Amino acid sequence: MKIVNRGFLIVSPKQPFFDWANNFEEDIYFDENDEVEPTIYLIEEDFIETEHVIKSHYKKIFLNELNMVTENVDDHPKISEELFHQWFHVIEGTTVLDALQSDLKRFDID
């Protein structure tokens, strides 16, 4: 195994996000009780204050989560840090281990 020089944020939607998302998904209804796979965002490895890290990244994370439902920005709510905390659970950590031997690959999604 190899250690990766990144920390992480595990982001899981809360019910307000599902309420918004259900406006766009006609065939599937989501709620907080469903087992929805969280998204893991790699961040700087060493950080002291979680709130500082979230403040640095919440806009990009929020936009990515919204775009997974609809890329029409006219349908997006106004992004704010307060709304981010209302819509998402966040777990942070500083240790990322790669259990595979193959090289990591990166792809731009912007």
pLDDT in tens, 33-68: 677 889 999 999 877 778 889 999 999 999 999 999
**Across-strand partners of 7?**
43
Helix (H, G, I), strand (E, B), or coil: what is residue 20?
helix
What's the whole-model pTM score?
Answer: 0.86
Q: What is the pLDDT of the chain when averaged over all its residues?
A: 89
Number of domains present in the structure of the chain:
1
Residue 108 domain flag: no
Residue 75 domain flag: yes
Residue 44 domain flag: yes
Say whether pLDDT at 104 is over 70: yes
Token pair recorded at residue 99: 């259990």
pLDDT for position 31: 67
Containing structural domain, residue 60: 2-98
Residue 81 domain flag: yes
